[in-house]
A and B are shown apart, each in its own frame.
Chain A
Amino acid sequence: MTTRDVYLDYAATTPVDPAVAEAMAQCLGRDGDFANPSSAHCFGQAAAHRVEKARTQIAERIGASADSIIITSGATESDNLALQGVMHACRERGDHLITARTEHKAVLDTAAALERQGFEVTYLDCASDGLIDPDALATAITDATVLVSIMHLNNETGVIQDLAVLGERCRRHGVLLHADAAQSIGKVGVNVAEWPVDLLSLTAHKVYGPKGVGALYVRPGVPLVPLMFGGEQERALRPGTLPVHQIVGMGRAYEIADPAVEAPRLAALKERLWAGLSGIDGARRNGHAERCSPHVLNITFPGVNGESLRLAIAEIAVSAGSACNAETPESSHVLSAMGLSDALAESTLRLSLGRYTTVEEIDYVVGRITAEANRLRGLSVSAPAWCRS
């Protein structure tokens, strides 16, 4: 079989959409809106106008007002600002943070840093389908609880938490809710006007925008202190010269990213992929069957070492789990939290589809993974049961 390169790692990052690149290019050269948007002269004001238009585009995609959007360098910074900013701002009120074991490292490592600073952190377990139990959340809330941080759409499994229900529990107890929605935009609808969510982390590069820019939605009135100092930009919550071209790129990307357009096509491709790969003996799909993203498919092939499979299909870009963990030998903390053994977690691939994925690519990937998974399994037919369970 002739091999062909296929990119199925859109949950790690996406290429920049040509329309986004075009909008960014208009802010780079001497004839473009390149100036510092904090400057009072006409060049600066033209750039500032671009920034505010982009801020509006970002806000409209999530049902927010433009003045609730703080520009950051990406979702990791947004998570840091949300967790550290709120916990420090509310320290007089309480010192307890609740999050989940299935969170991204950007939240887990920030929570660990807060613990080292003397804050209390509770890590919620999830069910085997990846969902957080709203009652377990309510039980974990104490008088000292200030903030709950729960990822909306899990980057490894695609599982979607019910923020409306979780947020309602938080509201009932007077606790703030932060959600990392880095993976959500363009795949599922996000509406902070309807959801009881107080802070929302966003990024551009998962949505065909540039790397290095993101945003934090902050509901008006939510207390927040900055992590950095040195200017009045972004209401002094995130100082530094605004990267106009990056922000404009993010705005354009968010304007384009309409889940009503993209999600049905992605969901159909994902089901075609699963229909093909489910033919491999023992293949199992991880995560809730309905409450899941249209673009992430997380599959375990028992008895097939995942690292060997990834090398065997090296022309196909897939991930072991989170790309952010790809260099570390530990198995996925998300899959472990869902109850998978180390052996099964290491026999797992995350395939994530995107705007440029085609039916032909899906069919090719099904054929290649099926052939290589069966071949590799044939190298260890006498292996003990733990290799497959």
Chain B
Amino acid sequence: MEYSPEVKRRLKLPERAGLMPDPASPFVMGDAEDRSLNVWVRFQVQLHDGTIGAVRFEAYGCPHFVAAADWHAERLEGCPSGALAEPDTRAVRDVLDVPTEKFGKLLVIENALVACATEVAA
């Protein structure tokens, strides 16, 4: 399996991995998993006046999966909360050079972010 430098960098140092640094500040949370693909992910997202603040994630999966979760977390910070409902899966696929057989894992990440959006709407 070949990995892009971006995947290697994000697996080695996933800057937004972990739990919310300030749990006292309210945040929404969304999980998704696919046991057949052997992946699980959870996002924690802080919101300030309709804008996404800090984003943190936990992920169990292959290097592309972890890197994709980290990429989404980074990209979402500072975006309007509506961005949670429309994750740019095509962009992350291209940036990380994700192989075709792993596209399904990216949809699991999308599901977790949409779950966050659903919680925001609620």
Contact = CB atoms under 8 A, between A and B. Distances in A.
A307 interface: yes
B121 interface: no
Contacts of A120: none
Contacts of A307: 1, 62-63
B35 A379 contact: no
Interface string A324-340: 00010100000000000
Contacts of A379: 14, 17-18, 58-60, 66
Given A381-B58, A383-B58, A387-B60, A308 B66 contact: yes
Contacts of B101: 329
Given A380-B60, A382-B58, A305 B38 contact: yes
Interface residues of A, number: 21
Contacts of B103: none
Given A346-B38, A380-B40, A381-B58, A308 B14 contact: no
Contacts of B66: 308, 379
Contact of A311 (B11, B18, B40, B60): B11
Interface residues of B, number: 24
Given A379-B14, A379-B60, A311 B8 contact: yes
Contacts of B12: 312
A343 interface: yes
A307 B67 CA distance: 13
B82 interface: no
Name B's interface SS: mixed
Nearest to A384: B40
Given A311-B8, A312-B11, A383 B40 contact: yes
Contact of A342 (B33, B38, B61, B62): B38
Contact of A343 (B1, B8, B38): B38
Interface string A360-389: 000000000000000000111111101100
A343 B35 contact: yes
Most buried by B among A327, A343, A380, A381: A380
Contacts of B36: 342
Given A307-B1, A387-B40, A380 B11 contact: no
A386 B39 CA distance: 10
A73 B3 CA distance: 33
A378 B59 CA distance: 9
Interface in A340-370: 342-343, 346
Interface in B68-106: 101
Top 5 A-B pairs ranked by shortest CB distance?
Answer: A380-B60, A307-B62, A383-B60, A387-B60, A311-B63
25 contacts: A303-B60, A305-B60, A308-B66, A311-B3, A311-B63, A312-B11, A312-B12, A327-B1, A329-B101, A342-B38, A343-B35, A346-B38, A378-B17, A379-B14, A379-B17, A379-B18, A379-B58, A379-B66, A380-B58, A380-B59, A382-B19, A382-B42, A383-B58, A383-B60, A384-B40
Given A379-B58, A381-B19, 13 more contacts: A305-B62, A307-B1, A308-B61, A308-B66, A314-B8, A327-B1, A343-B38, A379-B60, A380-B40, A380-B58, A380-B60, A382-B58, A387-B40
